[in-house]
Structure 1
Amino acid sequence: MSKKFTIPSHSEIQNAKSNRNNPTPAIFQKRKQSEQPNESIIEENVPKQSSEKVMNKTSTFRSFQSDSKPTVPTVTPVSANSSQSPEKAVDKSGTYRSFETVNRPQKPLVSTTTPLLVNSKQRGNPILKHIHNVAWEYSDIVPDYILGQTTCALFLSLRYHQLHPGYIHERLKLLGRTFELRVLLAQVDIKDSSHICQQLANICLLADCTLILAFTPEEAGRYLELYKAFENKPPDLIMEKSEESFEAKLIDTLTSVKKINKTDAITLYSTFGSVKNIFTATEEDLSLCSGIGPLKAKRLHKAFNEPFIKNIKKKAIEEVNSTEVKEKCEKGIGNENDNENEGC
């Protein structure tokens, strides 16, 4: 068989000539051979451990378990006009990859809550110096303060209200009902304020506003801070926590009687077994319970049997008598002496 020979290129011929004319000295060849590390010696000196630990300790050494380079999976890009769904976009390694999660916008790190808005006419008000816990800024608004999406506040000084009593009426009329919660923050800066506070209370009732009295600028600023800070909070923090169990409600009812404590209430319920039996028991039956003497039994029996409205029988008798007298006077029944005695 005939052998095939390839014709070398011009650059290969030039490189061969340069190597032949300038050979590497034998001294440098020995030095290069001595500088190359022997892999067999390295493998004997290195203790048996995972390739990850070897890479951590000596970053110049490569992994001894496999000489092959790791294959990087290439993901097939999905164009915007293609009809292929992100779930069908598969890379060469066989793993699914969703492109929607990659392009999902991240949440902003800065809070998106709006600051407390202050009317520009409130510039120079001393209460602004005491608003530290919430951010605030001036704005062209109708109320004096906007504390949330549905809450606003008007500020009024009682000293100014004495000089200009019609000012608050104009402000409330201009405000209207654009906000669900309208607060009238009044600063008490006069001595005799009871009469003026009563007037403001009547005004707030007619205008469906909430009246808050502050006696110092610090207190007024604190009220504004709290309204803004609790803008999106539920009302559970200030609501009364009532007991839902029947026993707790019964104990609360019985202890409302004077001198009856919690132990007495538990004794009554364990002795009679029901609320009906407790309410219909006599004084003797109540006094037989341990811890309840004749005085407590008398008070319990009186509380269970007296009417809710005091002196209801006397009032009813007086009403009946008055109606009978009126009827007799109108009809003219009876003697003249009787009519004079009855007041006809």
Structure 2
Amino acid sequence: MDEFDDDSFNDVLGSMEMPTAPKQPKVQEPPAATVVASSNSNPSSTTAPAAKPASNPHSVLVHSKQRGNPILKSILTVPLEFRDDIIPDYVVGRTSCVLYLSLKYHNLNPDYICQRLKALGKMYELRVLLVQVDTPEPHNALKSLTRISLLADLTMMLAWNAEEAGKIIETYKQFEKRPPDLIMERVESNPHQKLVAALTNIKPVNKTDAVTLLQTFGNLGNIIIASEERLSQVMGLGPRKAKKLYKTLQEPFLSK
């Protein structure tokens, strides 16, 4: 794989308008031109008239230039609406968009993604760079794209085939209005479940072991004062787990 020239990347990135904190929940910049910017328009343009809303709010807006992309065959559970009046390749929410990039194409045209980002400007709050890894040695290219993603406030997602790439786009749309606690760790409120969760934090104790320990000893206090030999006699625990459990329970909770 060819090495990418750091200076050329720095020059292009330095001329880009990056989102500034705090981020504003907006889709596009206010209208400032009468011509819709596109991926092949003047790279210096960063504003464009707002795209019309989708005729179906459940649709993924797809730029017309993406027609024929094999990843579209994997988007089955949400409808697609092809449009010419959007800058990104895919719009998956009111404030979310996706730019698609094949590593093979990136190797041939390393400045392409920077030009696309210049055209995108400060539009959209969540900006996903969906990279399809379709080269045998992707490491150098991914390193450069990671740096671009950090500087341009992009979330980089990797897919190893067209099907995975399509499913990523589909999932972003499906979860557009889902609450964040859907993927957050659930904190147990039941005292017994809290004890089970605490014991399973000690590797290699699993949930079955934790339940068996509580059933055998009755409470956490009795487990703590039990000898290593006694712990090893618990059904399913064995010497190895008992040794690790005993050692962990005997460690001081506060370090000096």
Give me the TM-score of the superposition, normalised by structure 2: 0.60
Contact 2:64 2:82 in 1 (8 A): no
1:185 aligned partner, one-letter code: L
Change (3 A) 1:190 1:245: same
**Could you tell me how far 1:153 is from its partner in structure 2?**
0.4
2:204 aligned partner, one-letter code: K
Alignment pair present for 1:287 and 2:233: no
1:95-110 matches, cutoff 5 A:
none
Identify the residue that residue 61 of structure 2 maps to in structure 1.
117
Whole-angstrom distance in 2 between the partners of 1:155 and 1:288: 55
How far does the alpha carbon of each residue in 1:46-72 deviate from its partner, in whole angstroms, 9 at most, with x for none? Answer: xxxxxxxxxxxxxxxxxxxxxxxxxxx
Size of the aligned set, in residue pairs, is: 195
Correspondence for 1:209 among 129, 138, 154: 154
Whole-angstrom distance in 2 between the partners of 1:262 and 1:237: 26
Contact 1:155 1:184 in 2 (8 A): yes
Identify the residue that residue 154 of structure 1 maps to in structure 2.
99
1:205 aligned partner, one-letter code: L
How far does the alpha carbon of each residue in 1:71-120 deviate from its partner, in whole angstroms, 9 at most, with x for none? Answer: xxxxxxxxxxxxxxxxxxxxxxxxxxxxxxxxxxxxxxxx8526322223
Correspondence for 2:204 among 252, 255, 258: 258
Identify the residue that residue 71 of structure 2 maps to in structure 1.
127
Does the residue aligned with 1:231 lie in a helix, a strand or coil?
coil
**Could you tell me how far 1:186 is from its partner in structure 2?**
1.0
Gaps of 5+ in 2: 1-54
Contact 2:232 2:238 in 1 (8 A): no
Contact 2:61 2:92 in 1 (8 A): yes
**Could you tell me how far 1:154 is from its partner in structure 2?**
0.3
Does the residue aligned with 2:93 lie in a helix, a strand or coil?
coil
Gaps of 5+ in 1: 1-110, 314-344
**Could you tell me how far 1:159 is from its partner in structure 2?**
0.9
Change (3 A) 1:138 1:113: same
Identify the residue that residue 183 of structure 1 maps to in structure 2.
128
**Could you tell me how far 1:200 is from its partner in structure 2?**
2.3
Does the residue aligned with 1:118 lie in a helix, a strand or coil?
strand
Change (3 A) 1:112 1:205: same
Identify the residue that residue 232 of structure 1 maps to in structure 2.
177
1:186-335 matches, cutoff 5 A:
186-235=131-180, 237-255=182-200, 256-258=202-204, 261-267=209-215, 270=218, 273-275=219-221, 278-279=223-224, 281=225, 283=227, 287=230, 291=234, 295=239, 298-306=243-251
Whole-angstrom distance in 1 between the partners of 2:204 and 2:58: 53
Contact 1:267 1:290 in 2 (8 A): no
Contact 1:267 1:289 in 2 (8 A): no
Contact 1:128 1:221 in 2 (8 A): yes
Whole-angstrom distance in 2 between the partners of 1:262 and 1:166: 55
Contact 2:62 2:80 in 1 (8 A): no
Q: Look at both structures and tell me which one has the larger radius of gyration over its CA atoms.
A: 1
Change (3 A) 1:158 1:250: same
Q: Percent identity?
A: 46
**Could you tell me how far 1:240 is from its partner in structure 2?**
4.6
Alignment root-mean-square deviation, CA = 3.6
How far does the alpha carbon of each residue in 1:206-229 deviate from its partner, in whole angstroms, 9 at most, with x for none? Answer: 333222222222332232233223
Higher helix residue share? 1
Greater relative contact order (CA < 8 Å, ≥ 6 in sequence):
2
Change (3 A) 1:274 1:191: closer
